[in-house]
Structure 1
Amino acid sequence: MTRPARRSVVAPSIQEIVSFLGSLCPLLAPTAPPASANPNLHVGSPTDLVEQIYVVPQLSCSLLTALPSHKRALLISAAPLFDTPPIAFDWKTPAHRLLSQLLEKQIALYVLPLSYAAAPEGYDACLAEAIGFHEALPLCVTGAEQQFKLVVFVPPQATPDVHRAAAEAGAGTIGEYTYCSFQALGKGTFLPSERANPAIGKRGQLEEVEEMRLEMIVPRHALLAVIEAVKEAHPYEEVAYDVYPLHNVGAPYGRGRKVRLEKPMAFDDLLSTLEQALDLGPACRLRYTPPDPQIANAGVTHLAVGIGTGSCNDLLGAAHEQKIEVIIVGGTSPSDWIGVPPPVLVDIGFLPSVAPGLRRLSDKLRQVFGGRGVKIEYAF
């Protein structure tokens, strides 16, 4: 079976990309409806089309100076320009100058919400994985991810390819099992129009074909990536699929990640591991509270990680209650260091802490929007 040529695709709008980013971020707690439909879109119009995406930890003059003027570009940043929206502008203020450059170059700006830290593949999870803690669990559990069921109808001979593509994009995981699916053979009908380019049959002629009904569970954060992977692997010009919301309890999510090491690790070895795993250069100096002699001599067994959000008090409190010995964070405030009880606090800096999550986000954006002609670049 030859695959028909796809119809020309249109570049996605900012709203489509914002909706995708929202699907990655869990709702940590009930909140009042935002005053704006897109509160994290700081510059740009939702209807604007996007051909270039830059994923960055934070904006800088050197970054914006290097970027060309691009009416169809979107910057996705981990850090906002302003803590609160300004009511007046002073061109001598660095943040206001950056805003001026964005407007001059007509580049849109979206700031990732803090809830991305708690996402199943967000900042905290990716930081733990980058350090080498692959079996880490949420430190502060606040909910469970919504699950969906994807049903797609596939020619029998193409089913293995579509099944594999969906599983590799994140579908079909149930507990410790992957590639889980249900498949049933049935009959499908279709009548191609005069403008169609059918892989099977002829235009204007009703066709009956054998098709496989392929069902797989998909977590919310992977849904759009799975759909795009299925479309790419499917031989039909138009792919028939259904998405059903489920009441199944998905994987837990929340702030921070915790892990119990099989063998205790010396504190100095832990610091060396952080420097090597995160490629911390001379500019990224580790800050930490001195460990007590017991930890220094016996080694560390219970650790936690999480990015800082201006204040790490919630993470520190949870780590203290759960008898965590060392917590690794990215970005602290002065109050975090006042009278710090156990655990030992290690600050790796904000930029190194969000880098693994932003790299993963760049890959996800390529999965979903790369096939629509969008170029995605991660700029550290």
Structure 2
Amino acid sequence: MATLKEIVDLVHGWYPPRTAESWDAVGLVWGDPEHQVSKVMFAVDVTPEVAAEAAAWDADLLIAHHPLFLKPVHGFAATTPKGRSLSTLVKTGCALLTAHTNADQALGGVSEAMATALGLADQEPIIPTPAEPLDKLTVAVPADAAAIVRAALAEAGAGSIGDYDFASFTSTGQGRFRPLAGAEPTIGTIGTIEEVEESRIEVVLPRTRRRDVVTALKAAHPYEEPAYDVVELADAEVAPGGTGRIGTITPVTLEEFGAQVAAALPETYHGVRVGGDPTRRIRRVALCGGAGDFLLDRVLHTDADVYVTSDLRHHPAAEFLEKDGPALVDVAHWAAEWTWLPVVAERLRDAVGSGLDTRVSTLVTDPWTMRL
């Protein structure tokens, strides 16, 4: 068992809300962070039926992939389906947390889960996520104050590298300066050149923390006018995760691969649609969980033999196939993203340990209900 805040912190650690698209609405929708959570249900969509299932199971938290309120609302009256859904959860004390585009690209996220479900080996992102922009700050400080300044920089967010923090480099040398009229020097006298044993401290920091780090530096530094510089580092690395996935399978025909996809994903009336020569040899597979037509041009220039995604439209799909690129497999949006639910459920269960019960909803919330 854990508090709601502890679970939210875990989920946000795996799928940071800052990585969500600007138009998205992710995070804790409702719930008391201090409440204890012993039962967590997972679903793609928050529908009245899913909310009723969570309530009937006495869930303390529903984690959903799709936001319930993607657009701002001024209330959630039970006269609408969305309002009924949230009202049901509120009545039974079931909190609601959503992880949408922040879960799409991440390690252990939607596209990776789908790729694993389809048996892809040697998985890589189609578009790697750029690493967070970094700065490097260098400052000279009297040697006896170096420890204080290093600590202040670290507390403000500098010096975190991977699984390490308080990382810095210090070298020693001589600082020279002459206080002028109007100065109030910590060391030295007006009009006299002063030489001081100083430490040169170098730290790396997220660019988003620049203002906080510089402010902390000035507050901790003993000099009236500290000498420092900030340099923007080149984006030489990529962050873990990225958009879509591409990997390798044991070679099969396109027709056989389509059957494998249908068998690996939850069944829906939408089914699996395939575009291309049924006898084509398939070894390299590109995919994107959810609606992935925005990647068509990028996939065309990979070595993929087939691209698997959802919500493909007639004209973009036809034009893509006319270019003699990869074949296409179009699957139900809900089915593709459902593959993530067991993954995050197991991850949360392992992180919290005994006392946490999880349940993955199998209610099919794909909008298509008949195929004639």
For the criterion TM > 0.5, the same-fold answer is yes
Instruction: Please tell me whether the aligned partners of residues 135 and 259 of structure 1 are also in contact (alpha carbons under 8 angstroms).
Output: yes
- Equivalent residue, structure 1, for 2:6: 16
- Equivalent residue, structure 1, for 2:281: 299
Change in CA separation of 1:112 and 1:29 when aligned onto 2, cut-off 3 Å: closer
- Equivalent residue, structure 1, for 2:37: 50
Q: Distance in 1 between matches of 2:318 and 2:253?
A: 25
Instruction: Please tell me whether the aligned partners of residues 64 and 96 of structure 2 are also in contact (alpha carbons under 8 angstroms).
Output: yes
Is 1:255 aligned with 2:243?
yes
- Opposite residue 309 of structure 2, the aligned amino acid is V
Which of structures 1 and 2 has the bigger CA Rg?
2
Change in CA separation of 1:251 and 1:29 when aligned onto 2, cut-off 3 Å: closer
Counterpart pick for 2:254 among 237, 258, 267:
267
- Equivalent residue, structure 1, for 2:141: none
- Equivalent residue, structure 2, for 1:312: 292
Work out the percentage of aligned pairs sharing the same amino acid.
21
Displacement of 1:251 in angstroms is: 7.1
Displacement of 1:352 in angstroms is: 1.9
Counterpart pick for 2:271 among 275, 285, 301:
285
Q: Distance in 1 between matches of 2:53 and 2:59?
A: 16
Change in CA separation of 1:148 and 1:273 when aligned onto 2, cut-off 3 Å: same
Counterpart pick for 1:148 among 163, 166, 190:
163
Displacement of 1:20 in angstroms is: 0.6
Change in CA separation of 1:87 and 1:57 when aligned onto 2, cut-off 3 Å: same
Change in CA separation of 1:343 and 1:147 when aligned onto 2, cut-off 3 Å: same
Q: Tell me, what secondary structure is at the counterpart of 1:82?
A: coil
Q: Tell me, what secondary structure is at the counterpart of 2:91?
A: helix
Q: Tell me, what secondary structure is at the counterpart of 2:244?
A: strand
- Opposite residue 246 of structure 2, the aligned amino acid is K
Long gaps (5+) in structure 2 = 133-160, 166-235, 363-372
Q: Distance in 1 between matches of 2:337 and 2:346?
A: 15
Q: Distance in 2 between matches of 1:332 and 1:104?
A: 39
Q: Tell me, what secondary structure is at the counterpart of 2:353?
A: helix
Map 1:127-142; keep pairs closer than 5 Å. 127-142=114-129
- Opposite residue 326 of structure 1, the aligned amino acid is V
- Equivalent residue, structure 1, for 2:357: 375
Q: Distance in 1 between matches of 2:19 and 2:109?
A: 17
Q: Distance in 2 between matches of 1:118 and 1:254?
A: 5
Is 1:62 aligned with 2:49?
yes
Q: Tell me, what secondary structure is at the counterpart of 1:58?
A: coil
1:281-322 C-alpha deviation (Å, 9 max, x unpaired): 36341134x31xxx54442233211111xx423322321232
Instruction: Please tell me whether the aligned partners of residues 246 and 287 of structure 2 are also in contact (alpha carbons under 8 angstroms).
Output: yes
Instruction: Please tell me whether the aligned partners of residues 128 and 257 of structure 1 are also in contact (alpha carbons under 8 angstroms).
Output: yes
Q: Tell me, what secondary structure is at the counterpart of 1:259?
A: strand
- Opposite residue 18 of structure 1, the aligned amino acid is V
Instruction: Please tell me whether the aligned partners of residues 331 and 349 of structure 1 are also in contact (alpha carbons under 8 angstroms).
Output: yes
> RMSD in angstroms over aligned alpha carbons?
3.4
- Opposite residue 312 of structure 1, the aligned amino acid is G
Change in CA separation of 1:97 and 1:262 when aligned onto 2, cut-off 3 Å: closer
Instruction: Please tell me whether the aligned partners of residues 74 and 108 of structure 1 are also in contact (alpha carbons under 8 angstroms).
Output: yes
- Equivalent residue, structure 1, for 2:340: 357
Map 1:1-380; keep pairs closer than 5 Å. 11-25=1-15, 39-68=26-55, 73-89=60-76, 91-143=78-130, 147-148=162-163, 252-261=240-249, 263=251, 265-278=252-265, 280-281=266-267, 283-288=269-274, 290-291=275-276, 295-308=277-290, 311-331=291-311, 337=317, 339-341=319-321, 342-371=325-354, 373-380=355-362
- Opposite residue 358 of structure 1, the aligned amino acid is L
Change in CA separation of 1:358 and 1:67 when aligned onto 2, cut-off 3 Å: closer
Displacement of 1:114 in angstroms is: 1.0
Long gaps (5+) in structure 1 = 1-10, 151-247
1:233-284 C-alpha deviation (Å, 9 max, x unpaired): xxxxxxxxxxxxxxx9787420111124563x21101111112223x43634
Q: How many residues align?
A: 261
- Opposite residue 20 of structure 1, the aligned amino acid is L
1:139-174 C-alpha deviation (Å, 9 max, x unpaired): 110136973269xxxxxxxxxxxxxxxxxxxxxxxx
Displacement of 1:111 in angstroms is: 0.6
1:157-194 C-alpha deviation (Å, 9 max, x unpaired): xxxxxxxxxxxxxxxxxxxxxxxxxxxxxxxxxxxxxx
Displacement of 1:24 in angstroms is: 0.9
**More moved, 49-58 vs 339-348:** 339-348
